[in-house]
Amino acid sequence: MNTLVIRPQDLEEAAKHLDEASAKALEASEVTTDIESELRKTHGLYSLPSSSEFDRANKVRRKAAVSIAVVANNLAAKLRYAGYLYDGADELLASNLDKQLLPNDFQQG
Concatenated DSSP letters of 8-58: HHHHHHHHHHHHHHHHHHHHHHTTTTTHHHHHHHHHGGGGHHHHHHHHHHH
Instruction: Delimit the domains of the chain by residue range.
Output: 10-86
CB 93 within 8 A of CB 18: no
Distance CA 84, CA 7 (A): 10
Distance CA 82, CA 86 (A): 6
Average pLDDT over residues 71-100: 85
Average pLDDT over residues 64-77: 98
Distance CA 44, CA 84 (A): 57
Q: Give pLDDT, residue 57.
A: 93
Q: Give pLDDT, residue 95.
A: 76
**Reported confidence tier of residue 80, pLDDT bands at 50, 70, 90:** very high
pLDDT at 103 over 70: no
Q: Which residues contact 22 (CB under 8 A, 6 or more apart)?
A: 68, 69, 72, 73, 76
Residue type (1 letter), 23: A
The overall pTM is greater than 0.85:
no
Average pLDDT over residues 48-74: 94
Average pLDDT over residues 77-82: 96
Average pLDDT over residues 79-84: 93
